[in-house]
A and B are shown apart, each in its own frame.
Chain A
Amino acid sequence: MNRSLTGATVQIDLKSPTLNDDEIDYLRSTLREDYDLIVRGVELGDDSVSPPIAAAPTTHTISQMTDAPTTRDGEPSRIVPCTIRSGQIEEFPQGSLIIYGDVNSGGEVRAGGDIVVLGTLRGNACAGTNGRLSAVIIAMDLAPLQLQIGNCVNRSTTNEKPPGYPEIARIGPEDVIVIEKFVKF
């Protein structure tokens, strides 16, 4: 168990419906007592051939992905109605994440698709983990420590304050992340 996760809030994605309520309660209390992880929600899948408990998140290498999506079509999104604070990770590999708050430094958001932060993004954001290279990161104030889209990583180089208007980060022509003023699609 990664020590840095101590005290984090986690979402459990169960790819199998074979756990009953008692078993889920047990999982919840074990994670809480032994690992200090707070379970925010448990999602039950209905795909009974998958392993019972989702393993630790895998970091995909885009080149390994043969069936990476190319459009947003059919991509679900999840709304997170709060600020992601230091030490917290919000993850949604299936699609896009919309944060009704800030992502503070020391906090992290990871999405299969796009990431939209309706506050200040100060921490780390990793978009396009499903391999869709058109994934973008949009924030009202973009002041991240680190951005990642697909395999492209961009570390903050300046200590400048964000410009005061929304910005968008995407993969530009030379396979580097470019940050621009956000204009409507």
Chain B
Amino acid sequence: MGKVIVVTSGKGGVGKTTSTANLGTALALLGKSVVLVDADVGLRNLDIVMGLESRVVYTSMDVIEKQCELNKALVRDRRVDGLMLLAASQKNNKDDMQPEQMKAICDKLRTTYDFTLVDSPAGIERGFRNASAGADEAIVVTTPDVSAIRDADRIIGLLQNVEIEPINLVINRFSPQLVGNGSMMDQADVLDILNIDLIGVVPEDSGVITSTNRGIPLVYEDGSPGAQAYMRIARRLTGQRIPIPDLEQKGLFSNILNWFTKNR
């Protein structure tokens, strides 16, 4: 029996879709069977980030309306074995779907796939409830700023109310340089407030934007810091114990390196 994990945040634009695409691809690269579910009905974009936009024929709404079988609605990602996408309908809105319907889909996928990752829309309303309805576990994505953290805190409270456990935290767009000069919260500050387990820290990486535009998840680019961070998180999701490297230390080091290269 696999796991259904909702990727959520409260606030929009913090990296839920980016994280879903990269963690899903990374898990498939590690040999797991994975299905990515876009729960952002009406504002779908996981298919774009995955580069599968042109291959989407059916959506979860067609499955719910019994227009097609669940298996037929899944789009296979041809770049890696065992990776599928269930797209969201673009012409419907969030209220057209019931949490129970999403739960039924997740319950089916759980029996076949090692990991079902559900990309949640922003907010705490129906879209969030649909996305979390079938989840066993959650990944909460936040950026290290006070407004994203407050929304993450709200979401964590709601997830705890429905007994979704564990809830793991991803801190995204972390910038060692900004922490170094005191203009960004550090890891410890974020964890002190949210008080859940940290599963990874993804640095600010300009590669994310180009990979999004090209529809090729960043994890295919082995060398990039963002790709390495997502690969480590994926390994942790499979149960491997991998320490979280201290990006702040590395930041200091690369600051010094930067200083040398600039002043050469």
Chain A contacts to B: CB under 8 angstroms: 6-7, 9, 36, 38, 83, 85-88, 101-102, 104-107, 120, 122
Q: Are A106 and B161 in contact (CB under 8 A)?
A: no
Q: Are A85 and B154 in contact (CB under 8 A)?
A: yes
Is B13 in contact with chain A by the CB < 8 A criterion? Answer: no
Q: What's the A-B contact tally at a CB cutoff of 8 Å?
A: 44
Q: Are B158 and A120 in contact (CB under 8 A)?
A: no
Is B44 in contact with chain A by the CB < 8 A criterion? Answer: no
Out of B125, B153, B192, name the residue touching A85 (CB < 8 Å).
Answer: B153
How many angstroms from the CA of A102 to the CA of B148 in the assembled complex?
18
Q: Are A86 and B161 in contact (CB under 8 A)?
A: no
How many angstroms from the CA of A102 to the CA of B195 in the assembled complex?
9
Q: Are A7 and B153 in contact (CB under 8 A)?
A: no
Chain B contacts to A: CB under 8 angstroms: 124-125, 129, 146, 150-151, 153-154, 156-158, 160-162, 192-193, 195
Out of A9, A106, A120, name the residue touching B153 (CB < 8 Å).
Answer: A106
How many angstroms from the CA of A13 to the CA of B146 in the assembled complex?
34
Contacts known (A6-B125, A88-B157); A83 close to B195, Cβ less than 8 A = yes
Main secondary structure of the interface of A (DSSP, over half): loop
How many angstroms from the CA of A101 to the CA of B192 in the assembled complex?
11
- Shortest Cβ gap from A80 to chain B (Å): 13
How many angstroms from the CA of A101 to the CA of B156 in the assembled complex?
15
How many angstroms from the CA of A85 to the CA of B66 in the assembled complex?
40
Residues of A within 8 A of B146 (CB): 105
Residues of B within 8 A of A7 (CB): 124, 154, 157-158, 161
Q: Are B153 and A104 in contact (CB under 8 A)?
A: yes
